[in-house]
Chain A
Amino acid sequence: MSAAESLLELVTLTKNFGGLVAVKDVSLSVRAGEIVSIIGPNGAGKTTIFNLISAFHRPSAGDIRFLGRSIAGLSPHRVALMGIGRTFQIVKPFPNLTVLQNVMAGAFARTDDIRAAREKAFSVLEMTGLAERAAQPARGLTLGGRKRLEIARCLATDPKVILLDEVVAGLNPREAEETINLIMRLRGLGVSAVAGVEHVMRVVMAISDRIVVLNHGQKIAEGPPAEIARDPQVIEAYLGEEYHHGR
């Protein structure tokens, strides 16, 4: 694919923590509207990649380009305002604010007007199926609800790409399915998604345009889901774990 098409591009991205190499020479390109899944066991470097893209960490080497310009070294809020949204592996809703207020806080990234923010928030809540919980404090939601709220708050900032860290981990099958459906709908909005997933799941295979497999901080495979499922390296890395149904 040509560089002009790509929205987000990682160029030989590397991150060391002291002597530990968390991410090594990872290159990746995400086009507008594309859904890319990064698969890898816990500790494979998924969260580090998300932290690098969203500028919570600085790369040790390599570059991150968004809309054709380098964003390495910017601060997290700048990157967020440019259109890179993220959720956290350990969900971090604003517990003492209501669901609506959580999402409005996100909507204020694009407007200073409270009415506009509220309208935006309500439309996102409708889309994410949280509307009837709008007045409830976020701390009262179930884990599934909190994960969806994270996505909703992120969507309210009008991101061009959304980074979903461990998007289905810990969810029951029904909640996982709802979340997957939500990700499917992002495509319709023209929002790209990069989803971090721990296990090779059929549903993930189904919705992803492309799959990247990480092991020990390095990319060991990349390609369309069908190809990845046949990749011997992947099968080896996930021996006995391939084709998990949603847990």
Chain B
Amino acid sequence: MKPPAGISPRPPWRSRLAWGAAVALLALPLLVSSPYYLSLLVMVFLWTTAASAWNLLGGFTGQLSLGHAAYFGVGAYAVALLGSRFGVSPWLGLLAGAAAAVPVALVIGGVCFRLRGPYFTLATIASTEVLRQVALNWRSFTNGAVGLSVPPLFVGVSRAPYYYATLALAALTLLVSARLTTSKTGYWLQAIREDEDTAQSIGVDTARYKLLALAISAVFVALAGGIFAGYLSYIEPDIVLTVGLSIQICVFAIIGGLGTVEGPVLGAFLLTIASELFRSSFKQAHLIIYGVLMIVVMLFMPDGLLGQYRRWRSRPATSPAGSKGVRA
């Protein structure tokens, strides 16, 4: 009998492939000096982090949050405000942002998790929107729509330090995500996604586990937001606190494959590259590709690219255990 995919020992070629990829990723900045490509990869890693973190709540726990820009914004504003108002090192700011994301997540979660389905989603949008309004209007502190300049995390013009920092963050997020799939917490989060009543009937404190998933998720998204702010060296509410950003974060995960460890990586990689390619022809409208992909994926392959691939690969045999997407 075949053990389910989530807990099977990896075949040797897979672990070799993983090691090879790791070495290649570490060596890449030595070979590629073009700041353009390194910047692109920095964004890929940041989006991988944000999408994987979102996936803990959206994919594994099944709670469609469209409010993750809130945590991205908290991380970004922590670095920017502590740096520009109090002269605090951006690294401390980064940690402060991650720490601040937890209470923010608990408050927002405490409110939104009382609702289910589309009402939950609406409430997450509304709470982010309230934060954006505060950032826009508390001018004496946040500088409002003018925005804030952010102290850089690394001195010098080289992109390589940001490359390694974001790579490390993405790797850490994936590690947490992978560990979760083979732990009690991971099983129980998925139980909540599959059916909340049943989850409660086997002893899952659904309220607590949802908050836990949101808090972990928020911390990583805040870290991504903090590094993003330092990297961009400038932020404003309409960059880091928009519904558009929240949508973007979840689209990466959905297109790659909801509730899988690798899906968000795939989604972040393909979409960052794709939107870069489309940027020249579509200018600011490159988000159109996200919209088109969202519709196509939901209509034709609700398990995302990875789920579709797994299904296709296992078609002749009995259905595999791996695909955990949401479907009819």
Contact = CB atoms under 8 A, between A and B. Distances in A.
Direct contact of A and B (CB under 8 A): yes
Interface of A: 54, 56, 75-77, 80-81, 85-86, 88, 92-98, 100-101, 104-106, 108-109, 111-112, 114, 117-118, 131-132, 134-137, 140, 153-154, 156-157
B4 A135 contact: yes
Nearest to B6: A101
A65 B6 CA distance: 40
Nearest to A115: B7
B318 A105 contact: no
Q: Using C-beta atoms within 8 Å of the partner chain, give the interface range for chain B.
A: 20 to 34
A104 B202 contact: no
Contact of A105 (B202, B259, B319, B323): B202
Contact of B190 (A88, A97, A156): A97
Given A77-B204, A154-B201, A132 B324 contact: no
A156 B247 CA distance: 39
Contacts of A76: 197, 200-201
Contacts of B1: 131-132, 134-135
Contacts of B324: 96-97
B7 A118 contact: yes
B3 interface: yes
A105 B191 contact: yes
Given A77-B206, A100-B4, A114-B183, A136 B319 contact: yes
Contacts, number: 107
B195 A77 contact: no
B2 interface: yes
Contact of B203 (A100, A109, A136): A109
A75 to B, nearest CB: 7
Contacts of A75: 200, 205
B28 interface: no
Shortest Cβ-Cβ A-B pairs, 9 listed: A94-B194, A109-B203, A76-B200, A80-B203, A98-B321, A108-B184, A81-B203, A92-B198, A98-B4
Given A101-B321, A105-B187, A153 B197 contact: no
A94 B321 contact: no
A86 B203 CA distance: 11
A170 B197 CA distance: 22
Contact of A92 (B184, B187, B197): B197
Given A94-B198, A105-B202, A140 B188 contact: no
B202 A109 contact: yes
Nearest to B326: A96
A131 B1 CA distance: 9
A125 to B, nearest CB: 10
A112 B203 CA distance: 13
A54 B4 contact: no
